[in-house]
């Protein structure tokens, strides 16, 4: 009996001895590798300092998550889930809304608006949805000096999605129609960029019922997808821009049949008035209430 008790104990001691470090632990250990929390903290620090309308404290207080793989420049790809419905009133059928800002790094207001919306998502009309929010889809472009539309590899992420027409048309379109505009370079291959692949993984994993992608400065609404299009959100009215090889509207709206609303704010560096922002938000929720319905049996 005693042996039975002692044996595992001795075995454990033996294992502990084997696992013990050969050298004494130094008094001041080398700097620990950055944790995910560190990554998100410095992401918030950067945004809070860079964008007037982003509150440092509010950013730190949120439960942001960084992707495993950073961008080619080592910048974090970050998202947060806002699921007020789940905590207050379990609603497994809640529709999932994915909001994406800053896919073009020089459209600063597209990032700021997302942070404003994060506060509004807790309000009753919005809380019935399950939101996933990606405030900065192109952190390399944002951090470039000056900020750039494209990522650090010079690729327009919004032309790099793996649409069925990419191989046939993306390069051709870029050369002929844009005269090799460096701001609209679709990349060497569909999905060649880390950011694009990560966004595609988000679509597959989160399975959004609606995607809202925010841009600037064309001052309009665009729409791709299977349900009736929105006509007006606040001061923005519908003006279909067309479909491009490799764009998110093409990839999600046409190929994957997920409705994609593109909001083009009127200015890339100066925010719409509070009143205009609110009108846009309220019209958007009204449209969602009609067309992104919670199914009831
Ligand atoms: Zn844009």
Cα(263) to ligand 1 centroid in Å equals 9
Please state, in angstroms and rounded to a whole number, the distance separating the CA atoms of residues 250 and 211: 12
Cα(74) to ligand 1 centroid in Å equals 22
What is residue 85's predicted lDDT score, i.e. its pLDDT?
58
Cα(19) to ligand 1 centroid in Å equals 54
What is residue 2's predicted lDDT score, i.e. its pLDDT?
45
What is residue 83's predicted lDDT score, i.e. its pLDDT?
83
Ordered structural domains, the chain, with CATH: 69-291 (3.40.630.10)
Per-residue pLDDT, averaged over 291-295, amounts to 75
Cα(105) to ligand 1 centroid in Å equals 8
Cα(175) to ligand 1 centroid in Å equals 20
Cα(248) to ligand 1 centroid in Å equals 11
Cα(244) to ligand 1 centroid in Å equals 13
Cα(41) to ligand 1 centroid in Å equals 26
Q: Which tops the pLDDT comparison, 296 or 31?
A: 31
Cα(138) to ligand 1 centroid in Å equals 11
Q: Is 211 in contact with 255 (CB distance < 8 Å)?
A: no
With pLDDT > 70 as the criterion, what percentage of the chain qualifies? 85
Question: What is the three-class DSSP state of 8?
Answer: helix
Cα(142) to ligand 1 centroid in Å equals 12
Query: 9 falls in which pLDDT band (50, 70, 90)?
Result: very low
Question: What is the three-class DSSP state of 233?
Answer: strand
Q: Is 243 in contact with 262 (CB distance < 8 Å)?
A: no
Q: Could you tell me which residues come within 8 angstroms of residue 56 by beta carbon, excluding any fewer than 6 positions away?
A: 44, 45, 48, 49
Whether the predicted pLDDT of 224 surpasses 70: yes
- List, for residues 153-187, the tens digit of each pLDDT value: 999 999 999 999 999 999 999 999 999 999 999 99
Cα(84) to ligand 1 centroid in Å equals 29
**Cα–Cα nearest to 261, from 270, 269, 252, 273:** 252
Cα(159) to ligand 1 centroid in Å equals 11
Q: Which helix (H) or strand (E) holds 97?
A: strand 96-100
Cα(137) to ligand 1 centroid in Å equals 11
Q: Is 136 in contact with 142 (CB distance < 8 Å)?
A: yes
Residue 195, token pair as written in the block: 């950011």
Cα(144) to ligand 1 centroid in Å equals 16
Residue 124, token pair as written in the block: 């009753």
**Cα–Cα nearest to 158, from 250, 66, 26:** 250
Cα(103) to ligand 1 centroid in Å equals 7
Please state, in angstroms and rounded to a whole number, the distance separating the CA atoms of residues 2 and 115: 64
What is residue 5's predicted lDDT score, i.e. its pLDDT?
45
Rounded to 5, what percent of the chain is helix, strand, coil? Answer: 40, 15, 45
Residue 168, token pair as written in the block: 């046939």
231: left (phi over 0), alpha (psi -120 to 50) or beta: alpha
Query: 198 falls in which pLDDT band (50, 70, 90)?
Result: very high
- List, for residues 74-103, the tens digit of each pLDDT value: 999 999 999 865 655 545 679 999 999 999
With pLDDT > 90 as the criterion, what percentage of the chain qualifies? 79
What is residue 67's predicted lDDT score, i.e. its pLDDT?
96
What is residue 17's predicted lDDT score, i.e. its pLDDT?
38
Cα(63) to ligand 1 centroid in Å equals 26
Per-residue pLDDT, averaged over 19-30, amounts to 54
Interhelix angle for 274-291 vs 108-120, to 10°? 70
Query: 35 falls in which pLDDT band (50, 70, 90)?
Result: confident
Query: 294 falls in which pLDDT band (50, 70, 90)?
Result: low
Q: Could you tell me which residues come within 8 angstroms of residue 109 by beta carbon, excluding any fewer than 6 positions away?
A: 216, 265, 267, 268, 269, 270, 271, 272
What is residue 23's predicted lDDT score, i.e. its pLDDT?
55
What is residue 242's predicted lDDT score, i.e. its pLDDT?
87
Cα(4) to ligand 1 centroid in Å equals 70
Cα(8) to ligand 1 centroid in Å equals 63
Residue 17, token pair as written in the block: 């001895």
- List, for residues 97-150, the tens digit of each pLDDT value: 999 999 999 999 999 999 999 999 989 899 999 999 999 999 999 999 999 999
Cα(149) to ligand 1 centroid in Å equals 7
């Amino acid at each position: 009996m005693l042996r039975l008790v002692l044996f595992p104990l001795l075995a454990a001691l033996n294992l502990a001895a084997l696992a013990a470090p050969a050298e004494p632990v130094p008094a001041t250990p080398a700097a620990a590798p950055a944790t995910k929390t560190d990554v998100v903290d410095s992401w918030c620090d950067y945004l809070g300092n860079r964008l007037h309308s982003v509150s440092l404290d509010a950013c730190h207080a949120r439960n942001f998550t960084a992707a495993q793989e950073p961008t080619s420049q080592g910048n974090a790809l970050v998202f947060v889930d806002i699921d007020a419905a789940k905590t207050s009133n379990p609603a497994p059928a809640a529709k999932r809304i994915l909001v994406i800002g800053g896919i073009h790094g020089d459209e600063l207001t597209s990032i700021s608006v997302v942070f404003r919306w994060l506060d509004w998502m807790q309000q009753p009309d919005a809380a019935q949805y399950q939101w996933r929010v990606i405030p900065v889809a192109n952190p390399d472009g944002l951090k470039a000096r000056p900020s750039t539309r494209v990522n650090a590899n010079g690729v327009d992420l919004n032309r790099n999605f793996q649409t069925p027409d990419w191989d046939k048309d993306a390069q051709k379109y870029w050369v002929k129609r844009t005269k090799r505009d460096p701001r609209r370079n679709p990349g060497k291959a569909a999905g060649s960029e880390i950011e694009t692949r990560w966004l595609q993984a988000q679509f597959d994993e989160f399975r959004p019922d609606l995607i809202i992608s925010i841009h600037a400065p064309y001052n309009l609404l665009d729409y791709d997808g299977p349900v009736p299009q929105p006509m007006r959100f606040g001061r923005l009215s519908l003006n279909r821009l067309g479909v491009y090889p490799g764009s998110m509207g093409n990839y999600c709206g046409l190929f994957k049949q997920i409705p994609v609303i593109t909001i083009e704010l009127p200015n890339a560096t100066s925010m719409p008035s509070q009143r205009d922002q609110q009108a846009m938000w309220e019209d958007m929720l009204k449209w969602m209430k009609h067309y992104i319905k919670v199914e009831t049996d």
